[in-house]
Amino acid sequence: MHRIARRGLAIAATLVVAAASSACGGTGDSGSKSGDTTGVTDTEILFGTHMPLTGPASAGYSKIAPATKAYFDYVNAQGGVHGRKITYKIKDDTYNPATTNTVVRELVLQDKVFAILNGLGTPTHTGVLEFLKSNKVPDLFVASGSRSWNQPEKFPHTFGFNTDYTVEGKILGTYIKKTWPDQKVCFFGQNDDFGQDSLAGLETVLGADKIVAKQNYVTTNTNVAPQVAELAKAGCQVVYGATVPGFTALLIGTAAKLPGGTFKPQWVISQVGADLLTVGTTLGAAKPLLKGMVSDNYLPSVYDATDPWIKLFKDINDKYNAGVQFDGNIVYGMAVGYLTVQALQRAGKNLTRESVVAAVEKGGFKGPGNVPLRYSKSDHSGYGGMRLSKVNDTVDKQDYFGNPFTTDDGKGEVKEYTEAVPAPPANGIGTA
């Protein structure tokens, strides 16, 4: 009886202590009267992101966030934005939506980041949209071209960055239609919104019945031989790939290994999976297979050494990113950093979550892109077009050709865009 009493006493004491501690700490911390300043102090702004640093999609993509961080370090060394240094917390989600879910909660609930910046991936980021919305966290410049990011009424804090996959599908489709009018066109895509949005764009231009074979893949299964064999059987002459870099390499490598070695279609690959250095590194000795691959992009070309943006980014890469191999992922990461700083400059000294969203919605940002960013109150999508590129015969360059094109994700026509890209400011930091 004694023991039971003692135990009861112990439990009761624990309850009292716990209740007392819960009563003490009950004050919320989000927001002063003028807005939500979570993650912002007088000296610091904290951003967080989820990235595939390891796993099936990490090839190339793992370099993006460190490049953005390097750009922030460059800005911090010049005094930061309105006296605040930018801190960037990078979390690995291995491109697994379940892990993304956990790390984003950790960033928002525990680390109390100001915003999620450039979270990468269509399947991964789709799963956290609702969570970010219910916590009113700015969700800036998602690293994917899914159209889901452009739903200002449903997700008022989410903004895309990439040219969306449907716009891309229409632009590449227009080029295919003009260049190879009589050839059999096929499609190979990721089995999520990435693949579906790309296919929708392609079908808008070519017509659904003109695509003779459609195959897809899942990132958790690296054997694409059955799908590639189907493409070969259908006699595909042009294959449009909506693939991440690792799967671009698998697609092209597997096609070359088919018995007979006769399946050599013209490859047309989405921008997100077509960086020559990234795919070339993955293919290794088989890199020459990339000869003549057509793709597109909206950021300055790594191979244009005279481009002032490339000079700036290369310089920052050498100083703040340990001079890692300078490829399209670095340019991408730095461009995201540049735009973020522009938005912060515009949001002003009294930075809040509300003010940064309003700053992005104001639109009209001028930066490294060869087409305009589309941001407005009613449009949360990123870049609105693409410029075509092609891998040369010696497979060491992926140069642009022709003018950029712009279009919308509906039935609108594909138009040439002729305005020149502005030069970067002298100190390399964008103004509002």
Dihedral sign (CA 315, 317, 320, 324): negative
Piece in contact with another protein (CB under 8 A), picked from 8-16, 71-79, 332-340, 376-384:
8-16
Based on the shown chain and the rule CB under 8 A, indicate whether residue 96 belongs to the binding site for another protein: yes
Q: Which of residues 8 and 425 has its CB atom nearest to another protein in the complex?
A: 8
Query: What's the rounded Cα separation, in Å, for the pair 156 and 149?
Result: 10
Based on the shown chain and the rule CB under 8 A, indicate whether residue 49 belongs to the binding site for another protein: no
Q: Which of residues 192 and 327 has its CB atom nearest to another protein in the complex?
A: 192
Closest CB 98 distance from another protein, rounded Å: 3
Q: Which residues ranging from 321 to 380 are in contact with another protein (CB under 8 A)?
A: none
Based on the shown chain and the rule CB under 8 A, indicate whether residue 32 belongs to the binding site for another protein: no
Q: What is the DSSP string of 317-343?
A: HHHHSTT----HHHHHHHHHHHHHHHH
Among 14, 350, 378, 427, indicate the residue that binds another protein (CB under 8 A): 14
Based on the shown chain and the rule CB under 8 A, indicate whether residue 168 belongs to the binding site for another protein: no
Tokens of 295: 């793709």
Give the total of residues touching another protein (CB under 8 A).
Answer: 46
Query: Which x/- pattern over 115-134 shows residues binding another protein (rule: CB under 8 A)?
Result: -------xx--xx-xxx--x
Based on the shown chain and the rule CB under 8 A, indicate whether residue 225 belongs to the binding site for another protein: no
Identify the CA nearest to 238 among candidates 291, 152, 315, 177.
177
Among 1, 5, 22, 42, indicate the residue that binds another protein (CB under 8 A): 22
Is residue 107 a contact partner of residue 372, using CB atoms and an 8 Å limit? no
Q: Which of residues 96 and 352 has its CB atom nearest to another protein in the complex?
A: 96
Dihedral sign (CA 334, 336, 341, 346): positive
User: What values do phi and psi take at 13, rounded to 5?
Assistant: -60, -45
Query: What's the rounded Cα separation, in Å, for the pair 51 and 6?
Result: 52
- 211-217 and 185-190 strand pairing: parallel
Query: Which x/- pattern over 170-209 shows residues binding another protein (rule: CB under 8 A)?
Result: ---------------------xxx----------------
Closest CB 71 distance from another protein, rounded Å: 15
Helix (H), strand (E) at residue 50: strand 44-51
Is residue 408 a contact partner of residue 187, using CB atoms and an 8 Å limit? no
Closest CB 200 distance from another protein, rounded Å: 16
Based on the shown chain and the rule CB under 8 A, indicate whether residue 1 belongs to the binding site for another protein: no
Tokens of 321: 């990113």
**204 secondary structure, DSSP code:** H
Tokens of 232: 């070969």
**Footprint on this chain of another protein (rule: CB under 8 A):** 11, 14-15, 18-19, 21-29, 53-55, 62, 66, 92, 94, 96-99, 101-102, 105-106, 109-110, 122-123, 126-127, 129-131, 134, 191-193, 218-221
